[in-house]
Structure 1
Amino acid sequence: MKNPTRKRILITGGAGFLGSHLCERLLTDGHDVLCVDNFFTGTKDNIVHLMGNPHFEMLRHDVTFPLYIEVDEIYNLACPASPIHYQFDPVQTTKTSVHGAINMLGLAKRIKAKIFQASTSEVYGDPKVHPQPEEYWGHVNPVGIRSCYDEGKRCAETLFFDYRRQHNLRIKVARIFNTYGPRMHPNDGRVVSNFIVQALKGEPITIYGDGKQTRSFCYVDDLVEGFIRLMNTADDFTGPVNLGNPGEFTIRELAEQVIALTGSKSKLVFKTLPSDDPMQRCPDIALAQEKLGWRPGVPLEKGLVKTIAYFESMLRDA
């Protein structure tokens, strides 16, 4: 007999960094999980420990093509999310954001499923408002090297809200700020994984610009909790809602903390700042606190210790 509280949940990009943690959490919560991934940036290593679970299923599929299945909820996480990966094939990145959104929205419409969109703080571009509230429309270069991701995600949000208005679809949109933790790709070019790997190898730590640009860093478990709380809100609350840690650190402060926690002898080296790299990025999470009762609980130092342990194990086994 089917458990009435057990949902069938599709996670696109489920073998990626965030997706694999979401798969794990939803299985722990007692649901059936279908993980869909084309393995462009995701890896089976992230989900191999779930393969023996009878409530977990893996499907190799690219969301730029339609998918015909039956589920109760959809989490659309599929898209390369680091500059190195999304700039490798920018046309495919835009297709994944836009065609992928169209295909998943079409599926949700057909089967009457609730659907979650993993949007991004990149929709704010290089912001002129600080910290960034959801009402801020952003300051985005539509023709730059980051535009495939920034504008792709902005268009996906447009599609979600038009499906809501035109077809009364049940949607949830989260704007994700910098997130870190175990299972980050070691070569994804993100600042946390870059610094940790360089520190553990004793290599110079590369800082772009003067290191005074700021970021906020959210531990992955906190973010996944935000996802689930947003998905479980009443249908009249759609978002977009910022999910991130409002604690703000300069890139140099992050580098120095990683060196201290790893005991590394790495030195800092400074290189030219890439174009369109934002100088400030910090979420205003008042809406998430009000509507979801959510705020991150893992301090940066504690999260870094867990992340460093993961990369130490990865480098040891390589």
Structure 2
Amino acid sequence: MARNYQSRKRILVTGGAGFLGSHLIDRLLDRGDEVLCVDNFFTGSKRNIEHLHDNPRFELMRHDVCFPLYVEVDEIYNLACPASPVHYQYDPVQTTKTSVIGAINMLGLAKRLKCKIFQASTSEVYGDPHVHPQKEDYWGNVNPIGIRSCYDEGKRCAETLFFDYHRQMALDVKVARIFNTYGPRMHPADGRVVSNFIMQALRNEPITLYGDGLQTRSFCYRDDLIEGFLKLMDTPPAFTGPVNIGNPNEFTIRELADLVIEMTGSRSALEFRPLPQDDPMQRQPDISVARAELAWEPRVQLREGLKRTIQYFKDI
């Protein structure tokens, strides 16, 4: 139900021109809120938000969260950070800065405004896990000096900052750990497995699998994930998370490749390459906390989500 003027909120979304940020903004605007979208366009795209420019409740600001931001808002969603290995390994120092200094700046803003703040964390805080499926009380198995560390450890440090601000300053924080997510508006060259496979299949190019293709992932469609964000943000201050937001159905990468080939009618063959450093062998969320605290679980299963995503890539 759309909000009226009295209940309308002004909400800051950092990373708002990105894949997930732009869909979150759509949902916030649809329910009647005002949105300030902040993005430096390192990985975000103006194409993702161009349909919003005539909306009087939408405002866009080009800004890097590594620098302080002085605005007046009622809530903050902090999504700013490159999220695919291709992008975050391109400038690993800047990736770490975005996670850590960006968190400090957004938490400082939330402290000044006394407002609720959401952190988009990641399942990568679990590293290459020794526990399966992964529950929120698992501390993880992360290489602190590897090529993925800029993202993994940056997000872990951001979580530390959020919980220290919560304990020390009674800040109302919400931390979501995002598992593999896919859907329309993914960047076709972002290096993530779903977009890689679909683009290769549509071009009838070899589909590249790393290792033996038996490593597992759990794929959550974007609409389900955004619904989880909103439900988490609506919880009472006593509930902070972290909470896993993802689809618990687990697939091998080989199964994903075969399904994409089938659904696209592609002539692509499979091509196996060496496994990258620190690539996790298993990834599956335990969503018991999300079910209990948010009354949330994903609805869109892989075949239906892939159908919508394949059509998007065909259209562009």
Q: Normalising by structure 1, what TM-score?
A: 0.98
Q: 304, 310, 313: which one pairs with 1:311?
A: 313
CA distance in 2, matches of 1:72, 1:93: 27
TM-fit CA distance, 1:269 = 0.5
Q: 202, 214, 217: which one pairs with 1:215?
A: 217
Match of 1:129 in 2: 131
- Which secondary structure does the structure 2 equivalent of 1:5 belong to? coil
Matches within 5 A, 1:111-260: 111-260=113-262
The ranges of structure 1 where at least 4 consecutive aligned residues each deviate by more than 2 angstroms after the TM superposition are none
- Which secondary structure does the structure 1 equivalent of 2:312 belong to? helix
Unaligned runs of 5+ in 2: none
What fraction of aligned residue pairs are identical, expressed as a percent? Answer: 74
Match of 1:287 in 2: 289
CA distance in 2, matches of 1:4, 1:233: 21
CA distance in 2, matches of 1:266, 1:59: 42
Match of 2:57 in 1: 55
TM-fit CA distance, 1:126 = 0.1
Match of 2:266 in 1: 264
Unaligned runs of 5+ in 1: none
Aligned residues: 313
Match of 1:299 in 2: 301
CA distance in 1, matches of 2:312, 2:241: 33
TM-fit CA distance, 1:27 = 0.3
What is the letter of the counterpart of residue 227 of structure 1?
F
CA distance in 1, matches of 2:168, 2:207: 50
CA distance in 1, matches of 2:271, 2:200: 11
TM-fit CA distance, 1:113 = 1.0
TM-fit CA distance, 1:159 = 0.2
CA distance in 1, matches of 2:177, 2:301: 20
What is the letter of the counterpart of residue 237 of structure 2?
D
Q: 7, 10, 13: which one pairs with 2:15?
A: 13
- Which secondary structure does the structure 1 equivalent of 2:313 belong to? helix
CA distance in 1, matches of 2:26, 2:109: 23
What is the letter of the counterpart of residue 30 of structure 2?
T
TM-fit CA distance, 1:4 = 1.8
CA distance in 2, matches of 1:120, 1:213: 18
Q: CA RMSD in A?
A: 0.5
Match of 1:29 in 2: 31
Deviation digits for residues 40-60 of structure 1 (CA, Å, limit 9, x no counterpart): 000000000111110000000
